[in-house]
Structure 1
Amino acid sequence: MPKSLKSRGGEEELQCGPVFTVFAMGTRMTFVTEEEGINVFLNSKHVNFELAVQKPVYCTASVPKNIFFTLHEKLYITMKGKMGPFNIHQFTGKLIDELHEQLGNLGSHGIMDLNILVRDLLYPATVNTVFNKGLIPTDKGELQEFYQHFETYDEGFEYGSQMPEWLLRNWSKSKKWLLEVLEKNITHIKAYKSEKDNSVTIMQAVQDVIEMEKSELIPNYALLMLWASLSNAVPIAFWTLAFVLSHPDIHRAIKEDIASVFGSAGKDKMKVTEDELKKLPLTKWCVLEAIRLRAPGVLARKVVKAVNIMNFTIPPGDLLMVSPFWLHRNPKYFPEPELFKPERWRKANLEKHAFLDGFIGFGGGKFQCPGRWFALLEIEICLILMLYKYDCYLLDPLPKQSDLHLVGVPKPEGQCRIEYRKRI
């Protein structure tokens, strides 16, 4: 039975069945939209994540395919262990200190585009935690240059993953600029020692693995790490704050929860412990609900042996595609799917690190995003500190999401200004 499928902007695009194939740029991409196909995507041994991403990794970071296959699982295990739910607490103090420092730059009152505000908070805080201080410039001119090159690289990432680099002059220039910056800082990153303990940063743990195989590719993997740590966390933090501020009842409930745990505003250097985070479940629900509504457009696997889905045979060589955007709007899993309802996450067993059925915002199967718990933590802390320290108001309506890209979290379409005033 044909069904209507909608773009992320909500306009009706086409009618098609539960399994359909698109042929573009020499590649067959077969989309599945029903439970049977999604189960094959997530669980079948005949579809492969690594084969689906080898070309994008080579194109965007110049990591040869043979090195990628040699290192991928080792690196995944390393990052999953370092940023897993049982170790994630080691980053809490660092993230809080970094965010306090960046919030100090906002002053007592101002009006900014919310996307820029979140970027200015999370870019330095994340990089200083994942890598170490020194990679992000402190000089304003150099900092803007860094932002410009990263955002050019990020904006063109999807095109750069598929097209020859010589067709993307500005993107290629920014890629090379970032690689040069990372190469200059590799020794500094490696030499960093924590003042509080002997723990290593996430990038240091990754370096240790790469050095055993191909040390000259450390800057290339550092570029992938930089992109992975910034490209989705910042827009999700934006959407979370935008959704919260556009729902006065939720905004009020979060502020009341924060006050019940930390007291009235005024503590310049408040800390947030693991136990205190557990007392603020609504913040995590809001982040997860924002991810549900603003999930990546597509996830891909390479078919290595023919699979059968709903009487269709998908041949080897196809990319099997699933859209989190569509799945997250299936009313079977998410009643009233277009509404921002963080309370729906009450039913998730988050203490046992399980999400709601039908949620694939961090991918699925063997290679879910290894940084998912780190991303949730930093956005939660950012939300808590921002709403504790400032009274915030949106000056523009909640923007639509951009439909320019299918890879990654959609960016806002147009400006969304926020007025903030320090609470006393």
Structure 2
Amino acid sequence: MYMFLMPLAIILGCTVLYLFNQQRNLHRPPCISGWIPWIGAVFRFGKAPLEFIEQARIKYGPVFTIFVLGNRITFVTEEEGFDVFFKSKELNFEHAVEDPIYRTVSIPKNIFLTFHGLLYGLMKNKMKISHLYQFSEKLVEGLHEELESLGTDGSKDLYNLVRNWSKSRRWLLNLFEKSIPDLERDRTSDDLTVLQLITNTLKRGTREDKAPNYAVLMLWAALSNAVPVAYWTVIYILYNPSVYKNIMEGISSVFGEAGKNKIEISENDLKKLPLIKWCVLETIRLVAPGIIARKVIEPVKILNYTVPSGDLLMMSPFWIHRNPKYFPEPELFKPERWEKANLEKNAFLDWFVAFGGGKYPCPGRWFALLEIEIYVALVFYKYQFNLLDPFPKQNFNRLVGIQKPSIPCRVEYKCRK
């Protein structure tokens, strides 16, 4: 009798515990967990993460959770979730990125958490719109040097052609280093020792095989994406002949027909070429990052669900920008849609979230846009292009940063006469 009652008690106990957990989780988002404890859905998610996110949204609705490698990752895909993501005080950006920061540039977590706000404020001030004029000359000078190295004609994979431009931006790190003395007045000697440690660590992380734009503790995330954005912008322009024609006519009207002179390009010049900025922003919309993240510090309510503390809360700019509710005909390259944005007041289209938002939007976004616009204007002023390959597909397995091409795209280029 005893041997019969013990297994029955265990079964009943497990059933009660299961029902209790089910009741407790009734108001949590639906969870995709897989069959293997701790591992969860990592294999399905890792195989094609961007596709997995969209399929989960279609199946489970605007809020859902994925359990992978012991972590709960909750996605929001509609306005109600976006408002919480950017405005809730129960969410934290630093805690969401402290692990990736440590793995990428070996900055200890305690140092990152201590100095993130300080460095963010520093870079936000250095890169604000009213300061951009001081960078134009340096940007144009470096670009002229890189383009000269290409010669008068040739053929090349376009991504490699554009990537040459990134090798001349060491001066950005120097700008950061020169800003350190400005902080000395208000810091203790111990604080300055730690700040110098950050600087030295950043120097060690600027090898050519690393993303050099981690030079300010990943606060210039947009800058590390400048090369792929410039690449995709040129690609989209070349594969849309009417846009290419209008770009070339605009450049000729501002800078003249020939492409031999070492022209200067100012912000005022770029204002006369609004189509270039529209093309850059439309490109960013189409190749936006797969995810941006926050850490849930205290439970938050989204729609009818409660997202528990400890979850990573994520949204996907890549898919938000492909929602026809926010961007009609989302798969089409339509730079003219940006005519509706109030760019004179530095306002993007609603639900354009490639640069993040809330308390910590990307501090380098205005500088990144400026240097990409200058690159596009200068490369089309100097060269004519002939496409040799079909339009390259994006690598949809990329979750962090701008999408990269899955196949090469070669072009012939020739100096304009």
Distance 2:390 2:288 in 1: 20
Amino acid at match of 1:28: R
Instruction: State the alpha-carbon separation in 1 of the partners of residues 386 and 50 from structure 2.
Output: 26
- Counterpart Cα distance in 1 of 2:152 and 2:137: 24
Counterpart for residue 138 of structure 1: none
Q: Name the SS for the 1:30 alignment partner.
A: strand
CA RMSD of aligned residues (A): 2.3
Corresponding residue of 2:261: 268
- Pair 1:225-2:268 in alignment: no
Pair 11,96 (structure 1): closer, same or farther in 2 beyond 3 Å: same
**Aligned counterpart, 2:158:** 114
Separation in structure 1 between the aligned mates of residue 153 and residue 320 of structure 2, nearest angstrom: 40
Aligned to 1:130: 172
Point out the structure with max Rg over C-alpha: 2
Report the equivalent of 1:49.
93
Q: Which deviates more from structure 2 when the two are superposed, residues 309-318 or residues 207-216?
A: 207-216
| Matched ranges for 1:105-254 at <5 A | 105-121=149-165, 123-125=166-168, 127-131=169-173, 189=174, 201-205=175-179, 209=183, 211=192, 213-222=194-203, 223=205, 224-225=214-215, 228=221, 231-254=224-247
Deviations 1:159-214 (A, max 9, x none): xxxxxxxxxxxxxxxxxxxxxxxxxxxxxx5xxxxxxxxxxx24432586584643
* Dislocated runs of 4+, deviation >6 Å: 9-12
Deviation per residue, 1:395-414 (Å, 9 max, x gap): 11111111232011111001
- Does residue 357 of the first structure (1) align with residue 347 of the second (2)? no
2:10 is equivalent to residue 17 of structure 1: no
The answer on whether the counterparts of 1:298 and 1:324 sit within 8 Å (CA) in structure 2 is: yes
Say if 1:52 and 1:319, in contact at 8 Å, map to a contact too: yes
Alpha-carbon contact 1:91-1:129 (below 8 Å) kept: no
CA deviation vs aligned residue, 1:287-311 (integer Å, no higher than 9, x gap): 1100000000000000011111110
Aligned pair count reads: 352
Aligned with 2:80: secondary structure? helix
- Matched with 1:376 is 369
Q: CA offset at residue 38 of structure 1?
A: 1.0
Unaligned runs of 5+ in 2: 1-29, 31-44, 184-190, 206-213
Q: Percent identity?
A: 54
Please tell me whether the aligned partners of residues 392 and 420 of structure 1 are also in contact (alpha carbons under 8 angstroms): yes
Distance in 1 (CA, whole Å) between partners of 2:409 and 2:234 is 11
With normalisation by structure 1, the TM-score equals: 0.79
How far residue 220 of structure 1 moved from its aligned partner, in angstroms, is 2.3
- 2:282 is paired with a residue of what secondary structure? helix
Residue 423 of structure 1 is matched in structure 2 by 416
Aligned counterparts of 2:87 and 2:276: Cα–Cα separation in 1: 31
2:304 corresponds to which of 296, 304, 311: 311
1:390 and 1:72 map into 2 onto residues whose CA distance is 42
Give the direction of change, closer, same or farther, for the CA distance of 1:266–1:387 in structure 2 (3 Å limit): closer
Residues 334-393 of structure 1: per-residue CA shift (max 9 Å, x gap) = 111110001111111112111110100111111011110111111111101110011012
